[in-house]
Structure 1
Amino acid sequence: MIKLDHLLVAMFGVLLVLNGCLARQSLGVPPQLRNECNLDNLDVLQATETIKSEAGQIEYLDHNHPQIRCAGVSVSRLVIEQGGLYLPTFFSSPKISYVVQGMGISGRVIPGCAETFMDSQPMQGQQQGQGQQGQQGQEGQQGQQGQQQQQGQQGFRDMHQKVEHVRHGDVIAITPGSAHWIYNTGDQPLVIISLLDIANYQNQLDRNPRVFRLAGSNPQGGFGGPQQQQPQQNMLNGFDPQVLAQALKIDVRLAQELQNKQDNRGNIVRVRGPFQVARPPLRQSYESEKWRHPRGPPQSPQDNGLEETICSMRTHENIDDPARADVYKPNLGRVTSVNSLTLPILQFVRLSATRGIIQGNAMVLPKYNMNANEILYCTRGQARIQVVNDNGQNVLDQQVQKGQLVVIPQGFAYVVQSQNNFEWISFKTNANAMISTLAGRTSALRALPLEVLTNAYQISLEEARRIKFNTLETTLTHARSGQQQLIDQIVEA
């Protein structure tokens, strides 16, 4: 009888564990997406919601759309006007961004890392305050106390964590929980397209994009999920002001200022006066620098190489420089990729990116992603994109233009035909995303024996040879057909 009771208890415990696992897997996922993704018809997507701030705006794509929901991502477009500051923010999911336009500086806060950037001069306000205190000390009975305070403040220098320059063409990776801010130092709007991998294993919450703000407020509300309809305040707003005052050792009035209760500027504010933070000057030879690349691949999937630590690791890599191209043909275009081998931080966030620029007569050969979903965003021009699913059905055949997005699921084959100098950035949900082409010198069809092709497609041996060997390129080719294309391929290969 005792053994039977123990058996029942054990079975009940197993049921509880299984129920908890199933509940966690379906957390935040609509019923229609819990078992399968309905990807029979894909759409070209674009921003559906815009949140305006004092010095810019944030445009969001509907993360509840079945395609984006199935890919487990959230996409937004950040526009920071000249002199605008994107206030410190962190996310529960890994984030990867691409700078479409402009330049600026970006800072990140990694918990536990030292403040390695130090100002060489005290702040002007401190100097003035010290002078006033010294004058009061000489005139009043509290002179000795003022001098002591002055001596204590003379050694003060502003210190903060690493600040980096960002510019057009940079891919930027941010780890979960690391707050970051961005300031526009250029003379044009700073435009950044970003992707949150909310299905990443590091996100322990549901599949709703959640923004955690250290400063500012947003009276227009957030985006998506249960937070959409209510105003968004910064994290300090929820604490008792007296508790904040005790924690920071400041007065209650100043603690209330930190909560931004009466601040309606939004999450992008305009900086009044000069914006002075300690940062190294921008190198003139910023193009294709060898010193920015690691000496080799990470020694293991968990570490970042001997030359980098979690505090000093690089967070961005420029992939718009033609000298960085992985595939380049002068009269067709170029394709550049960044993964964990070129930017080791991507091993932690498990994301990668590809930048492509093709001319009006170019085509990206048919291919599919072997181990990742791809989110393709058009930054300029136009192109025709066709996508084919696992049943061999054409699920997308549309024109894509600037500001529009296409979700290409894992394994779905697609082809891109430029119509007007097409440029794009693709984010992929794997640190080392791999592709397989369906045409060209390294394609799946090229690797098959002739006898397999002849029997599979019921064609002659000569026809099978043409299928294998007519296309000599690996990634890019001419969109036109005929004998002239074959001559160009022989000359350019």
Structure 2
Amino acid sequence: MAYPWLLSLSLAFLVLSHGCIAQFQRFSTQCHLEKLSTLEPTRKVESQGGFTEYWDPTDDQFLCTGVAAFRYTIKPKGLLLPLYTNAPRLYYVIQGKFPNEWSTSIYTHFNGILETVIPGCPATFQEQSSRGDHHQKIHSTRHGDVIVVPAGSAHWIYNNGETDMVLFSIVDTANEDNQLDLKVRTFFLAGNPREEESNSSQKRWSRGMGSKLPWKDGSNVFSGLAVETVAESLGTGVELARKVQGIDDPRGSIIIAEEGIHVLSPVEEEEQQMQRERERRRRRREEKRGLWRGEGSINGLEETVCTLRLVHQLAESADADKYNPRAGHLTGLNTPNLPVLQYVQLGVDLGVLYKNAIMVPHSNLNCHAVIYGTNGSCRIQVVADNGKTAFDGEMREGQILIVPQHYVVVKKAGSDGFEWIALKTSDNPMMNPFAGRLSLLRAMPEAVLMNSYRITREEAKDLKKREELTLLSPQLGTKPWEEINKS
């Protein structure tokens, strides 16, 4: 006996399965990670108050790891207009105003201010008068700060310093908070951030992409509404509504605030809070990771999403996770020392290698790593599955190298050393070292190594003798990698 409902269900299942398989094939055919390369921005868009640089989002390395990268240069008195994206993002301030040792003003320690508007959270900063301004918390920022922005949270950044402010940023489009595709969608709340091609190669790229261009060439979110709707919704006149739509605004996405930006911001209190947070970090690290993933809020009832810190000073931290006085230091930023990272599922490593020092061969167990060079140069080697060399070359300041999950990577600094920031797609990144005291080889019995490598017991002992942990000092008698590369 036939069951029509069963036949319909079977057909629906086949259609759904075909769609899922097709989507899987679409993403799998895009992933060609046998060969990696260092990447530089391919597009630059000028604005009144600075410029924005884009890395090519159609590159397989970005598509397969689900991230997109940007770099913003904001002039003094420049304001990055309020915006939000469809996925979480991290900023790292790679250039800003440094402390002025001859000045007694606490404001000289900061190069910028910013606000991240968390939907549903109260405006806790309010002037005394009944009709005074009120807004959510304003954060001060400077060189070395990591800025966390959850998906859909509007934010703006203002440069109140005397020099250009430069920020590197990634958007994690593969994050579970993004239920759309892997395309970065930027929603501006003000201005008319049209982004015109600035040279012929960028024009060819845009023409080749056609309708798939990964950013919109248009105005802010209000411009798509009828002006009468904007006026009625905001309770304003039509002329003011037209200004909000910004259709005739030529300034771009970064503007100059001629009169400056003056907001409520108790800077002294913020510095004191940073000191308290440094002390709390030491206590937090003693807790087991399971405590951070329990029920309720991230650390008991101590913090809520509205009061979580969104800015963390990483470059000046004296609390490195790994330190070798002959090789360098590595500082990680994860859920225990910045709880908001649990919400965005992202983490950060900041590394410094001294001249010719090595960071051990290792893999990232639970994340991809987007490495951005901030100073100096190094030789990086990356190994894919089946022992294939995916990358072997030099990485310099201002370049990106994406290291996919489980790929083996090793860094050796050049003659001037190497500094980098690695943005990772996990809030608690885990590293698997292949050399040093904590390595896989050291954890295996000598008999296993002897048979695996066809070596003697003394040679097996030799493989396990290195006592340094993650950062290795240069070995005596070895050549700098620059000389090896030339020979």
TM exceeding 0.5: yes
Aligned partner (choices 417, 422, 434) of residue 430 of structure 2:
434
Asked whether the equivalents of residues 388 and 395 of structure 1 are also in contact (C-alpha less than 8 Å), the reply is yes
Q: Which amino acid aligns with 2:451?
A: N
How far is the alpha carbon of 1:301 from its aligned partner?
Answer: 7.1
Q: 2:370 matched to 1:404?
A: no
The alignment status of 1:180 with 2:175, answered yes or no, reads: no
User: C-alpha separation between the residues in 1 aligned to 2:273 and 2:421?
Assistant: 19
**C-alpha distance 238-284 of structure 1, shift in aligned 2 (>3 A):** closer
Selected match of 1:69 from 63, 72, 92: 63
**Which residue of 1 is the match for residue 33 of structure 2?**
39
Q: Is 1:349 aligned with 2:344? A: yes
CA–CA distance in structure 2, aligned partners of residues 232 and 331 of structure 1: 52
Equivalent position SS for 1:454? helix
The correspondence for 1:240, drawn from 226, 236, 239, is 226
Q: Which has the larger radius of gyration?
A: 1
Structure 1 unpaired stretches of 5+: 123-154, 484-493
Q: Distance in 1 between matches of 2:270 and 2:171?
A: 32
Deviation at 1:219, TM superposition (A): 2.7
Specify the SS of the correspondent of 1:232: coil
From 84, 96, 104, the equivalent of 2:90 is 96
Post-superposition offset of 1:57: 0.8
Q: Which residue identity is paired with 1:446?
A: R
Residues 1:459 and 2:455 aligned together: yes
1:283/1:481 CA distance change after superposition, 3 Å: farther
State the alpha-carbon separation in 2 of the partners of residues 409 and 424 from structure 1. Answer: 17
TM-score (norm 2): 0.86
- Distance across 2 between alignment mates of 1:244 and 1:221: 27
Query: Which residue of the partner structure matches residue 315 of structure 1?
Result: 310
Deviation at 1:444? 0.3
Report how many residues are paired.
Answer: 443
Report sequence identity in percent: 37
Alignment of 1:347-386 (within 5 A): 347-386=342-381
* Aligned residues of 1:288 and 1:323 also touching (Cα < 8 A): no
Question: Aligned partner of 2:113: which letter?
Answer: I
The match for 1:220 among 188, 195, 209 is 195
Instruction: Evaluate the alpha carbon distance shift between residue 229 and residue 389 of structure 1 in structure 2; reply closer, same or farther with a 3 A threshold.
Output: closer
Q: Say which SS state the counterpart of residue 233 (structure 1) adopts.
A: coil
Select which of 307, 319, 327 maps to 1:332.
327
Superposed CA offset, 1:363-407 (max 9, x none): 111111111111111011010001111111222111110111111
> How much has 1:482 moved relative to structure 2?
4.9
How many angstroms apart in 2 are the aligned matches of 1:188 and 1:287?
26
Unaligned runs of 5+ in 2: 97-110, 198-205, 285-290, 479-487
Q: Deviations over 1:283-339 (max 9, x none)?
A: 696697243546645352773221111111111221112412111223321110001
1:126-160 residue CA offsets vs partner (Å, 9 max, x unmatched): xxxxxxxxxxxxxxxxxxxxxxxxxxxxx311000
1:241 positional shift: 0.9
Which residue is 1:6 aligned to? 5
- Corresponding residue to 1:445 among 438, 441, 446: 441
Question: Is the counterpart of residue 254 in structure 1 residue 254 in structure 2?
Answer: no
Task: Name the CA distance, whole Å, in 2 between partners of 1:175 and 1:288.
Answer: 21
- Alignment RMSD, CA only? 2.2
Go from structure 1 to structure 2 and tell me whether the alpha carbon gap of 1:302 and 1:35 turns closer, same or farther (over 3 Å shift): farther
The Cα of 1:34 is off from its aligned counterpart by 2.6
Letter aligned with residue 120 of structure 2: G
Check 1:325–1:433 CA distance in 2 against 1; reply closer, same or farther (3 A cut): same
State the alpha-carbon separation in 2 of the partners of residues 396 and 376 from structure 1.
13
1:163 aligns with 2:163: no
Q: Aligned partners of 1:228, 1:450: CA distance in 2, in Å?
A: 53
Aligned-residue offset at 1:273: 1.4
